[in-house]
Amino acid sequence: MKSDDTKFPFQVPDGRFDQKFEMFKRARWDEAIAGWARSSRDAIVFEESPGLRQRDFALRNAAWNIEFEYGRGNSMSNSGLYSWSHVSDKTQPFIDAGRPVTGTPVENASCVKQAARFLGADLVGICYAHPNLVYSHEYNIISQAHYPLDLPEDHVNAVVLAIAMDYTAMRHSPNAVAGAATGFGYSKMASTANMVATFIRGLGYEAVPSGNDTALSVPLAAAAGLGEVGRLGLLVTEKYGPRVRICKVFTNMPLAHDEYRPFGVTEFCRVCMKCARHCPSNAVSSSEPTTSGWNISNHSGPRKWYVDAEKCYRFWAKNRMDCTNCINVCPFNKPSGLLHDGVRALIKHQPVFNRMVVRLDDVLGYGKPMHRKEYWEA
């Protein structure tokens, strides 16, 4: 696919990123970190502490089950619920793929968005699928094969879907309850992306569903108008903050693109620093944005805050589960309400008050994990 930078709202890297160097893929082949990876896969030993009991891990495993058993987006692309072409025999009789529906790109986009929200997306936007954001190669965890990766030439549009994670469970990070919120987000990603792709195929077009595989999610989501990239390296949305998981569907269906919609995140992140201060691994940068990442797991080029993935993963391995402290402490990570929505509006329109907002967030006790508080008594 030939790139058209005029269709993308901000700078992208000059070249494509090899998925082999993504941190979780490196953990399967890079001997320098192989010990961390092995320790993270050791059998869990239950503890009699809230968040570390058998029922907490049972909840986490249940939440991840759709992704692990049927999605497999963290393992490989074009498989399971993320298959690029699968149409169930049960739905095939109702699909006449030889006759694509006709409509303007604006009409088509409105139709796809309404279907996506019905099928489980909390946020949905559409952007140009910039080819430099598609992985140059895939590293398949199942087969440990490494091979070139290309989307079909005409799949120039990306439908980007954000799945919100449970606010209360996330506040228990970094234990198994918060891990359940993460896992449920991934399972919903797999089912929602699959159904949206199936819907588009039912309209007579091709569709490639994608989770963490195939392409970089965060810049595509920002370009689709879902939010901005924050200091913590994640997408920060206006409604949910960084408390979302992102999936996408690439398609040749003619679709109108959304506009990039910044709402003050970059300016706020310059003064906030809470994700950097509360990161247990010191992986989040407390410096100014730069064009160079920390190591080979960063896709350097654009000026932004880069997260040191090696430090982050080392803590995950030691903790033996994922950590979402940076999401938890972000002031944008609040449920909707009169006060919280008012603060978001203040940040968006009056950034002069950003430092005051950070201090108020600390005074009110937000951003602190619910250390060992019992989830099941809520």
Checking if the pLDDT of 35 tops 70, the result is yes
Mean pLDDT of the chain: 91
Checking if the pLDDT of 88 tops 90, the result is no
Mean pLDDT of 44-51: 85
Give the model's confidence band at 87: pLDDT under 50 very low, under 70 low, under 90 confident, else very high: low
Checking if the pLDDT of 125 tops 70, the result is yes
Give the model's confidence band at 96: pLDDT under 50 very low, under 70 low, under 90 confident, else very high: low
The answer to which of 136-140, 172-176, 231-235, 239-243 has the lowest mean pLDDT is 172-176
Q: Which secondary structure element, helix H or strand E, spans residue 207, and what is its range?
A: strand 207-210
Return the half-sphere exposure (C-beta side, CA atoms, 13 A cut-off) of residue 340: 14
C-alpha to C-alpha distance for 374 and 366, rounded to whole angstroms: 18
pTM of the model: 0.93
C-alpha to C-alpha distance for 199 and 261, rounded to whole angstroms: 27
Two structure tokens written together for 127? 């952007």
Q: What is the pLDDT of residues 259-300, one digit of tens each?
A: 999 999 999 999 999 999 999 999 999 999 999 999 999 999
Checking if the pLDDT of 192 tops 70, the result is yes
Residue 118 CB partners (closer than 8 Å, separation 6+): none
The answer to which of 145-159, 242-256, 352-366 has the lowest mean pLDDT is 352-366
Question: Which has more confidence, 55 or 102?
Answer: 55
User: What residue spans define the domains of the chain?
Assistant: 6-263
